[in-house]
Amino acid sequence: MDIHKANWNLPLWAFLGQSLVRYDKEGNPVPDLATSWKFDDPKTLVFTIREGVKFHNLPPANGREMTAEDVAFSLNRIRTPQAEFVWRSQFERVDKIEAPDKRTVRMTLKTPFAPILAYIASGTVASNKVIVPPEVVQKWGSLADIEHAVGTGPFQIKQYTPGVGGTLVRSSTYWEAGKPYLDTLSITVVPDRATMIAAYRTGKIDLGTQEAGEVTLSERKDMERTNPEIKYTEWSRPNWFGLVPNLTRKPFDDIRVRKAIFLAIDRQEALQLNLAGGGYITGPLPQRMFPGWVAWTEAELLRLPGYRQPKDQDMAEAKKLLAEAGYPNGLTLEAEGTNLFPQINLKNMEIAKSQLAKVGVTVNIKLVDGAVWFQQDTKGEFGFRARGYSAARDPDDQLYTRHHCNAGRNSQKLCDAELDRLLDTQRQELDVAKRKDLIKQAQRRLMDLAPQVWLHTAVDYMPRQPWVRGWEPTEYDPFALPANIWVDR
Amino acid sequence: MRQYLVSRVLLLVPTLFIISVMVFAVVRLFPGDVLDFLTAEANVSREDVDKERERLGLMKPLHEQYLTWVGSMLRGDFGRSLWTKRPVATDIQRRLPVTVELGILSLFFSVVIGIPIGILSAVRQDSSMDYAARSVAIFGLSVPGFWLATMLILFLSVGFHWLPPLRYASPDVDPWQNIQQFIAPAFILGLHLAAVLMRMTRTALLEVLRQDYIRTAWAKGLRERVILARHAFRNSLIPVVTILGLQVALLIGGSVIMESIFNLPGLGQYIFQVILVRDYPAIQAVNLLLASFVMVANLLVDVSLAYIDPRILYR
C-alpha cells in the first residue's frame, strides 16, 4: 500500500518517514522537517526546510541530502487528481506548491485555509504526508512496496515480508544527533487478538502500537491478572462512535423524529454495555482530543437533554415528539450492521434497538458485509447505521468534511445554510481565538439539528513491557517519536 | 490404466474452465469492489472513483475482462493485486509452502492418530478401549478447532508463560522454530480429521472382519496380526482413502482459521484478506489454485484405489 494514497493505517511509516510538521502533546503543529513557517500573506505559506536532513542510506537515494524539491514533489504527489490519492481533498484549497530554493517551500492557497498545518501533520494516525525522494517513485512506479521504502525517519527497512513482519535498523544518516537509541526494531504482525494478548503476557512483544496493538480496558484488566508487570499508556482513540441516519429518507427528514431518537438513547448505558466503561461520552467533537475547541466540557455535556441522567424526562419528551410527528403508536426503522469493523458498531445498534423499543420504535437490523457497507455509504443508499468516525486532529476534518452540504464524506446529506456558513468561515479564519468561537457555534448548531446521535469515544491502552523506556504515545501522536525509545534490561 | 489417466488429466481442462468462469462470476456477483475499500471514508468524488475503476479495467464488459484474465493466466501472468499492487504470483509463491506444510503435517497427524485407533477399536469392539477411542473421536469432531486453538494459546501463555514463536520462520531457515510453530495448528487440524478417519476405519474394518474369508483365515489358524495386516486392513482402506481425499478441501477451509490464530502467513490467511477487500485477481488466482489441488487430490485417490483393490479396473 502506497503511503501517499493509503486511507488505512500504515504504522511502519511512523518509523521510516517524517513530514514537515508534527503534533506535540497538546495537538499543536511543531517543527519536524520544517524548522519554521510563516504566512507571507493569508494565501501564501512559506516553510523553511531543516538543514542536514538526509534520506536513508539505501538505493536509489543513497543517503543524499533532502531538499525543498523533495518536499514539493512529495506534497504535490499527494495532490495527484486521481481517486486513489484519497488525501487530495485536504489540499483542495492549495493552488500550488513550489521550491524556489533548496531550503524554501512556498505553498500558494486559493483561499486562506486555517487547517492546512494540521492536515500536513496528520494522516489516519501518524502523518502520511511523508517526504520521499522522487527517485524511489520513479524507480518502482509507486511507494506500494514497503520493502523499497526510503524516507528521513530514524529507522530504515532491512527486511520486511508483508503480513509477517520484518526488521528495521537504525538509520546511519538520521539528523537528530545521537538518535535513535535502538539499533534494531523488530516488527511482528499478529492478526489474532487472543494471540497478541498472549504475546504481551509472555513478554514476546516489547510494545504495542497502532494499528490494533492497543488493548481495551477489559483486555487490560485481564492481562493485569496474569502479568502485573506490563505498563500502559492511556490513549483516547481519534474517533468516536454514533448512530447515523440517512436524512434524505423518511422518517429521518423530520427533525422531530431525529430529536426523539436523540433523546431516547441512553448513552451511559451504551458505554457500560459496549465498552465496559472504557471510554467517555462525546458530543459532535470528542472532548479529550479538542479541549480548547469543544462547546461543552464533559461535565457540561452530561447535563444536556439526551445526555442527562435519569432518562425519565427525555423519554417522555421523546414520546411526545414522536406523537407530534405522526407516530403516536411508534414506528419501524430499517438499519444496517456489519461485522467488519470493531464489533462496537454492531453492538451499538443492538443496544439502540433495545433502548428505542422503550419509546415504541422498532429497529430492524440487516447484516451486510464490509464492501457493501462502504458502497452503501458512498452512494448514500443506507437507512440507519451505527458507525465510527475517525478524522485528522483538526476540528475541520471532524465537522466540515462530515456535515457541510458539499463535503464528500457527508453521506447522510445534512444541508443547513447556517451550519455551512459557520463551517466555511472557520476554514478561512486564521485567528485561532476567533476560529475556536466559530467552531463552538457550529457545534451548537449541530446539536440543534440533531443529525446523528453521538455516543462515545473509546479509550484504549498502549501496552509496553517494564524495560521499554522513552516511549510516550499521546492522543495526537500514538507513535511518539520512535527515535527516543530505549530498552533498560 | 494409462488411457484412463490420460482421459482424467484431459478432463481437468474443462473442469478448470468451468471453475474459472464460476470464480470470475461469483466474485463479481458480490456487491462492492476494491475501490469501495480503497476510497472508503475518503473525501473523494464519485466521478474520480469511477475514473479509477475505468483505469483498472473494472468498467469493461465482463466477457472482455474474463478473456483478458484467462489470456494472461495462460501466459503465466496472474496479474497484480488491486489492493497492494504487488504481483499476485509473488504473494502466492511465498504463501503456498506454508499452507502445504500445514496440510501435510495435519494429514500426517490425522493418519497416525486416526487409523491405529480405528483399527484398535474395531478389533476390540465394545471394549473399554473402544469406548474411550470413540469418545475421543466425538470430542474431536464436535469441538471447533478455533476454540481449541484459542484455549491452547491461553493455557500456554497463562500457565507456562510460553508461546510458539510469533514470527514465521521457513523450515530451511530455522527448522526448530518452524516445528514449534506448526506443531500445534497441525495437531488441532489433524485431530478433527483423525476423528473422521478413526470412525471410518473402525466401521469399514468391522464390516470386513465379518466377511467369510476372514473366518476362513481364522479357521486356517493364521495369527491375528497376519489376518489384520494382510487380509482385513487393505480391504477396509477403500472408504478410508476416499475420505482422506475429500479431507483436502476441509483442510484448506481449516487453514484459514488456524493460520490466523497461529500467525502463519499462508494461503488461508491470504484468501480471507483478499475476499474481504474484493481483490479480484488475487481471489481468482487463489481459488483456481485451490480448486486444482482438490481436483488433483481426487485424481490421486482414484488412482490409488486401483492399487489398493486390484479388482478396480479403470478403462
pLDDT per position as a tens digit, A168-210: 999 999 999 999 999 999 988 887 888 889 889 988 899 988 7
Task: Provide, as residue numbers in chain A, all residues whose Cβ is less than 8 Å from the Cβ of B167.
Answer: 164-165, 186, 188
Q: At what angle do helices B88-123 and B175-209 cross, to 10 degrees?
A: 40
Residue contact B86–A144, C-beta within 8 A? yes
Residue A252 pLDDT exceeds 90: yes
Q: For residue range A287-301, what is the model confidence (pLDDT) as tens digits?
A: 888 888 999 999 999
pLDDT band at B273 (very low <50, low <70, confident <90, very high): confident
Task: Give the closest-approach CA distance of A371 to chain B in angstroms.
Answer: 5
Contact (CB<8Å) B278/A199: no
Which of B26, B30, B33, B38 should be substituted to probe chain A, the one whose Cβ sees the most A Cβ atoms within 10 Å?
B38
- Looking at CA atoms only, how far is residue B185 from chain A in angstroms? 13
Question: Closest to A198 (Cβ–Cβ): which among B41, B163, B276?
Answer: B163
Nearest to B83 by CA among B48, B33, B129: B33
Closest CA to A361 of A391, A393, A334: A334
Task: Provide CB contacts within 8 A for B109, sequence distance 6+.
Answer: B186, B187, B189, B190, B191, B193, B194
Of A83, A226, A408, the CB nearest to B158: A226
Rg from Cα positions in chain B: 24
Query: How far is CA A90 from each of CA A81, A426, B49, B57, B174, rounded to the nearest angstrom?
Result: 12, 15, 17, 28, 47
pLDDT number for residue A212: 74
Contact A346, A206 (CB under 8 A): no
DSSP string of B101-156, one letter each residue? HHHHHHHHHHHHHHHHHHHHHHHTTTSHHHHHHHHHHHHHHHS-HHHHHHHHHHHH
Q: Is A212 part of the contact surface with chain B (CB cutoff 8 Å)?
A: no
Interstrand relation of A384-390 and A468-469 (parallel, antiparallel or unpaired): unpaired
Does the pLDDT of residue A395 top 80, yes or no? Answer: yes
pTM, two decimals, is 0.83
Distance CA B42, CA A82 (A): 12
Per-residue DSSP letter, A191: -
- Please tell me which residue of chain A has the smallest CA distance to B162: A202
- CA separation for the pair A472, A481 (Å, rounded): 8
> What sign does the dihedral A270-A275-A276-A282 (CA atoms) show?
negative
Q: B84 to chain A, minimum CA–CA distance in Å?
A: 5
Residues, chain B: 315
Q: In angstroms, what separates the C-alpha of B175 from chain A's closest C-alpha? A: 17
CA A473 to chain centre: 15
> Are A161 and B265 a contacting pair at CB < 8 A?
yes
Q: Please give the share of chain A, as a percent, with pLDDT higher than 90.
A: 65
Contact B43/A401, CB-based, under 8 Å? yes
Chain B residues in contact with A203 (beta carbon < 8 A): 161
- Which residues in chain A (69-88) have CB-CB distances under 8 A to chain B? 81-84, 86-88
Chain B residues in contact with A379 by the CB 8 A cut-off are 46
Would you list the DSSP string of A254-294? SHHHHHHHHHH--HHHHHHHHHTT-EEE--SS-TTT-TTT-
Of A89, A162, A369, the CB nearest to B84: A162
pLDDT digits (tens, 9 = 90+) for B128-143: 988 988 888 888 888 8
- Confidence tier at A481 by pLDDT (50, 70, 90): confident
Bridge partners for A363 per DSSP: A333
pLDDT at B226: 86
**Contact A338/A346 with Cβ under 8 angstroms?**
yes
Comparing alpha-carbon positions, the chain B residue that sits nearest to A194 is B150
If you ran DSSP here, which 8-state letter would residue A375 be given? H
- Nearest one of B69, B61, B57 to B23, comparing CA atoms: B69
CA distance B45 to B42: 9
Question: Shortest Cα distance from A441 to chain B (angstroms)?
Answer: 24
Mean pLDDT taken over chain A: 91
What is the ipTM metric for this complex? 0.76
Q: Give, in order, the Cα–Cα distances in Å from B221 to each of A356, B80, B124, B183, B229.
A: 80, 67, 19, 43, 15
Identify whether A60 is preceded by a cis peptide bond (ω within 30 of 0). yes
| For residue A9, pLDDT beyond 70 | no
Residue B113 has pLDDT above 80, yes or no: yes
Q: Is the pLDDT of residue B234 over 70?
A: yes
Using the beta-carbon criterion (under 8 Å), do A372 and B31 form an inter-chain contact?
yes
Q: Quick check: A163 contacting B, CB < 8 Å? A: yes
Q: Cα dist. A50→A31, A38, B76, B83, B190 in Å?
A: 9, 15, 49, 35, 59
CB contact under 8 A, B276 and A370: yes
Q: Please tell me which residue of chain A has the smallest CA distance to B28.
A: A371
Q: Is the pLDDT of residue B315 over 70?
A: no
Band (A126; pLDDT cuts 50, 70, 90): low
Q: Do B42 and A89 touch (CB under 8 A)?
A: yes
pLDDT of residue B229: 82
Which cell goes with A329?
A: 403508536
Is B247 within 8 Å of B192 (Cβ atoms)? Answer: no
**At a CB cut-off of 8 Å and minimum separation 6, what does B227 contact?**
B214, B217, B218
pLDDT-based confidence at residue A431 (cuts at 50, 70, 90): very high
Distance CA B209, CA B213 (A): 9
Three-class SS state of B304: helix
What's the angle, vertex CA A152, arms to CA A150 and CA A153, rounded to 5?
Answer: 100
The single residue listed with the C-alpha cell 462530515 is A402
Q: What gap in Å lies between CA A115 and CA B189, rounded to an integer?
A: 53
Average pLDDT, integer, range B2-6: 83
Cβ atoms within 10 A of the Cβ of A297, count? Answer: 11
Cα dihedral value B123, B128, B134, B135, nearest 10: -170
How far does the CA of residue B157 sit from the closest CA of chain A (Å)? 5
Residue numbers in A near B263 (CB within 8 A): 188-192, 195
Cα separation of A375 and A245, whole Å? Answer: 16
Q: Which of residues 294-353 of A touch B (CB under 8 A)?
A: 340
